[in-house]
Amino acid sequence: MKYQAPTSIEEAVALLSSDPGARVFAGATDLIPQFQGGRPEPSMLVDLKGVPQTGVLECQNGYWRVGAAVPAARLTSHRELVSAFPGLVEGTSLIGSDQIQGRATLGGNLCNASPAADSVPPLVALGATAVIVGAAGRRSVPVSEIVIGPGATSLHHAEFITEFRIPVPARGCSDAYERFIPRTEMDIAVVGAAARIRLDDQGRCRDATVVLGAVAPTVAEVSAAAEILRGRQLAEAPNCKAFWEELGEAAVASCNPIDDKRGTVQFRRRVAAVLARRTVATAARRAKEAI
């Protein structure tokens, strides 16, 4: 197995195009365990951390640019990013241990294509876009369209993500993420939930997005959330209003979970309803502080 560390997009694309068995990586926190678990090794590994565009982290022209190879530890310690997207940072901070945080990346967490990835529901809820480059040029794709199934993405061979672009939150807008795990830390989500809420000046919901993880082959958006929550005063306690129950029912209807050793179908649906309500309430509280 060959190892290559290109320093430009053009060099990386050329390397990938020259070898059908080549594979990219950023942090390798998933790659190495996969090899140890018996997966076939690629003929060439292409390390993307040396490509400058994958390490960008800045806010400009109405959106944040977050490089696909920026380590999670850098994201969680970036004050402006934490303030802008607390839910995304919450999800990112749950990827592995402190040591893993020094290597793990948003690009790797997405392209590993695990249904339980913690940073993907927040990215989708925020309307993030992935900038993809390859032999055919450059294209931008919503993050929601990247993962097409467990372990599978819509990226073509010789394509890779250079950065994510996330719209700057409007006034009165914020997000949140929570997950349920059997242990207190270092585990994979049985259910994850992200919410993005925008309030008007009176504290009423103007717009809402709720996205669930680990309850379907890909992330599941609760499509009815905006209609259920729009015009509501979300500062009320989650169990005080009938619309909270309606939101929970919509979350359950959006699930397509499996039974496994970590949770049953019935359990995952119940937890999805609870986490949907919790993350909406948290995002709404943060949004109110941002008015």
- Residue-range definition of the domain harbouring residue 102: 2-167
Same domain, 157 and 89: yes
The residue assigned the tokens 């995952």 is: 268
Same domain, 42 and 135: yes
Residue at which a domain ends, from 122, 146, 167: 167
Residue at which a domain ends, from 167, 187, 209: 167
Helix (H) or strand (E) holding 139: strand 137-142
Considering the entire predicted model, what is its pTM? Answer: 0.95
Same domain, 61 and 139: yes
CATH of the domain at 180: 3.30.390.50
Using CA atoms, how far apart are residues 288 and 291, in angstroms rounded to an integer? 5
Give alpha helix (H) positions in 102-155.
Answer: 106-111, 120-125
Helix/strand/coil (H/E/C) assignment for every residue in 197-263: EEECCCCEEEEEEEEEECCCCCCEECCCHHHHHCCCECCCCCCCCHHHHHHHHHHHHHCCCCCECCE
pLDDT score at 272: 98
Q: What is the pLDDT of residues 135-178, one digit of tens each?
A: 999 999 999 999 999 999 999 999 999 999 999 999 999 999 99
Q: What is the pLDDT of residues 234-261, one digit of tens each?
A: 876 555 678 999 999 999 999 999 999 9
Percent of the chain scoring above 90 in pLDDT:
88
pLDDT score at 77: 97
pLDDT of 129 strictly over 80:
yes
Same domain, 250 and 118: no
**Mean per-residue pLDDT, 70-84:** 97
Same domain, 42 and 140: yes
CATH of the domain at 70: 3.30.465.10
pLDDT score at 237: 59
Same domain, 136 and 21: yes
Using CA atoms, how far apart are residues 291 and 285, in angstroms rounded to an integer? 10
Number of domains in the chain: 2
Residue 89 — pLDDT band, cuts 50, 70, 90?
very high
Same domain, 129 and 266: no
pLDDT score at 17: 97
Same domain, 29 and 116: yes
